[in-house]
Structure formats: C-alpha cells, structure tokens
Amino acid sequence: MKNLLLIIVIITLCSPIVRAQNLKLSYNSSIVYPGAKIGYEAPFMSKNIEKVKKSGKTKSYVRENLFSVNAAFYHHQNYHDNVYVTAGISFRKIRPSGFFFEFSPELGVSRTFIDGTTYAFNKDNTMDVKKTNGYFYPLLSVGGGLGYDFSTKKELPITVFTKLNLLTLYPYNSGFYLRPTFELGISYKLK
C-alpha cells in the first residue's frame, strides 16, 4: 500500500508537464448513503479517430486515456464511514457532439471507521472505549459512465458526468465486500 501511495505522489508531482488537467468534484453515494469525491485527471494519450462506414458516412470521435487520482468518502449510518484514495486509468470516447462514455478501473486503499461506540479490553482486563475504530483494506474499483464536455462546442472548460462504480474490499470478514456507488459531478479543465 505504501508503494501505491508513493506512485500516486510521484505521478501527481510530474503531471504539471502535461497539456491539460482536470479537477473533478462529485456527489458520491453508496446508493442511499451520502458522500463526496474529489479527483484529478491528466490525459496521457489522445487520438482522433475517423472511420468510414459501409454507407459512406464518416464517423469520428476522440479516444482519450487519462490518469486519475481520487479521494472519496461516504457515510453509512449505523454501520461505518468509508474514506478511500484511488489511482487509475479512465478510457474515454468523446463524440463530436460533446457526449462521452468512459470506463475506469482503479486501485487504492480504504479506511473504514465504525459508527457507534466500540469497547475493548485493555491490559488490566478493564473495558475501554475505542475511538476511530475501523480497518484498512486494499480496494479495487471498476466503473463506467457518461457525460457531456462543454469545451467541444463552446469555450466552457467544464464537463458534467454521471458514473456507476463497484467497490471491492478484500479481505472483508471472511470474503469480499462489494459496494455499488453512484457519482454525479462536474469537472473543470485547469489548462
């Protein structure tokens, strides 16, 4: 996990040399449990693609790969709060109209905080109240979404998007912990 955080820091520090960068802010809910997410994207590959269909029409789009770093949380009442940091790659296909689709696998680390009072025995066999009790987990997130890039038709450096993700925490009790999340956000192009 230390190596993953080191890679995130190195890539983030080196990213000012890239052409464009995006700062993302979104509502991030675990279906009915509220949260928020902030992220940073830097494209490392962008390719204009044109295909001629059998009918003779030309179909064009931009295929873009972005490195992303994200920090997020959600609050599951009477269960836990989950704070997590991820790094991954987004594969985006942008149509000339500005609409785009994306797929993004991410790896990261999660820290849960148990909601409520937790007790544990100390060395003297007396009961103590434990604060910030919870666990660290490796995290895998896979998501897909769609959005609209206002910079393709207008001079607005803004993108709006929605995304569904599936978080996987392991080991969680005796197996995997799967948690679907929903994102609704805005992205601002810094350069």
Residue 37 is predicted with a pLDDT of 95
Only one residue has tokens 């990261």, namely 108
Identify which of 75, 78, 95, 109 has the alpha carbon closest to the alpha carbon of residue 6.
Answer: 109
Which residue type does 32 have?
A: V
At residue 8, φ and ψ (nearest 5 deg) are -60, -45
> What pairs with residue 64 in β-bridges?
46, 92
pLDDT given for residue 92 in this prediction? 95
Q: Give the amino acid at 107.
A: L
Domains of the chain: 2-189 (2.40.160.20)
The pLDDT value given to residue 174 = 76
Res 31: pLDDT:
78
Neighbours of 73 (CB within 10 A): 18
Task: Label each residue of the chain as H, E or C.
Answer: CHHHHHHHHHHHHHHHHCCCCEEEEEEEEECCECEEEEEEEEEEEEEEEEEECCCCCEEEEEEEEEEEEEEEEEEECCCEEEEEEEEEEEEEEECCCCEEEEEEEEEEEEEEEECCCEEEECCCCCEEEECCCCCEEEEEEEEEEEEEECCCCCCCCEEEEEEEEEEEEEEECCEEEEEEEEEEEEEEECC
From first to last of the 191 residues of the chain, give the pLDDT tens digit. Answer: 556 555 556 555 555 555 568 899 999 988 788 999 999 999 989 999 888 888 888 889 999 999 999 999 999 888 888 899 999 999 999 999 999 999 999 999 999 888 877 888 888 888 888 777 888 889 999 999 999 999 888 889 999 999 999 999 888 777 888 889 999 999 999 87
Count, residues in the chain: 191
At residue 127, the pLDDT reads: 87
The whole-number pLDDT of residue 66 equals 93
Of 114, 116, 115, 90, the closest CA to residue 103 belongs to: 90
Distance, in Å, from the CA atom of 125 to the CA atom of 61, rounded to the nearest integer, reads 67
